[in-house]
Structures are given as structure tokens and as C-alpha cells.
Amino acid sequence: MPAETTTPTLVALVYARRADGSVLLVERRRPPFAGWWVAPGAELAADEAPLQGAQRGLAEETGLKALDLRLRGVVRETSPRPDFQWLLFLYRCRAGGTPRPSGAVDDLRWWSTAELERAPVPPADRWWLPHVLGDTPGILEATLHYDAHRNLIEIESETPFYARSA
């Protein structure tokens, strides 16, 4: 793939779990994933660390407080489109409080493990979910390439799941 020179948008995504293993996802109201179920999160402010953005994003989109927040992945998404360049920080946590949708979120719900396998999530999310939600040690590092229509066309896993400790 040719090197991309556009600066990516920095985003923190948070997969909140309950004791029963269910995962909170939000239904997006706006592009690029309008209508899909994704992790709540936020674009990072210029003066914000990824951890702070994850805490803020979860609170703003769901009203929940992140407990035991852990970085599980760093993923670069690139495409020929200048408006589709992302550097994603993927977190997992337990969450405190009662969830409520707000901001760019249409709806939110807890998905059981069985439901999650059939949930309408973007292909990239489906690819990284086993690592982010699982107990495999380490931090996933990858670059995902998309075409001009936002179709996932290639995944480069830059660091094996087990190569780094979390």
C-alpha cells in the first residue's frame, strides 16, 4: 500500500463490559458509521491524552464512568480519502452508572457474547473484538487499509497479540 501523508484523526474507543460479559455498544447517528453499532468514544482534543479522551468519550456518549480502563489496541486506519484517516486507541473497562445515549449516539444497549457475534458492527471492529474483549495478553497493533468507498481491503498486524504485555 502507498504511504499515506494525511494526518489521522486521533480517537479513543471504549468497550465497557458488565460482570455477565455483555458489552455496551452505541448506534451511531452520523458518518462514517451511521446506523452501525460501535464502541462509544471520542476524538481527542489537542491537549488530551488517549486515556483522558476514552474517559470523556464514554461519559459524554453514555453517561458512564470508566473503571479499570485498559489499553488493548492501537490501530491505524488509512484510505485514499483524506476524510477517512484514523489512529484508534482501543480500551476495555468495567463501567459505573446507568447508561443513557447522548451526542452522536442514536441508541445504546448491552450485547451478550452470543448476540455480539451477530451484531451489526463494522468489519474492522469484528476483527479486533476478540483481542480487545479477550484475555490474550498484550496490545494489538495493526494498520487497516480501506478503499475509497470505505471498504476494508487489507489488515496488517504489526505486532503479534502476545508480543507485548498489557
Segment 17-47, tens digit of pLDDT:
998 999 999 998 777 778 899 999 999 999 9
**pLDDT at 1 (0 to 100):** 44
pTM score of the predicted model: 0.89
CA-CA distances (angstroms) from residue 64 to 3, 19, 21, 85, 110?
38, 15, 17, 28, 13
Q: Look-up: residue for cell 485498559?
A: 70
Give the CATH number of domain 9-163: 3.90.79.10
Contact present, 71 and 55 (Cβ < 8 Å): no
The mean pLDDT value of the chain amounts to 88
**pLDDT at 165 (0 to 100):** 46
Output b/e per residue, 97-128; b: 16+ Cβ within 10 A: eebebeebbeebebbeeeebeebebeebbebb
Task: State residue 146 phi and psi, 5-degree precision.
Answer: -120, 155
| pLDDT above 90: percentage of residues in the chain | 69
Residue 71 CA to residue 93 CA, distance in Å, equals 9
- SS3 of 8, please? coil
120-145 per-position pLDDT tens digit = 999 999 999 999 999 888 899 999 99
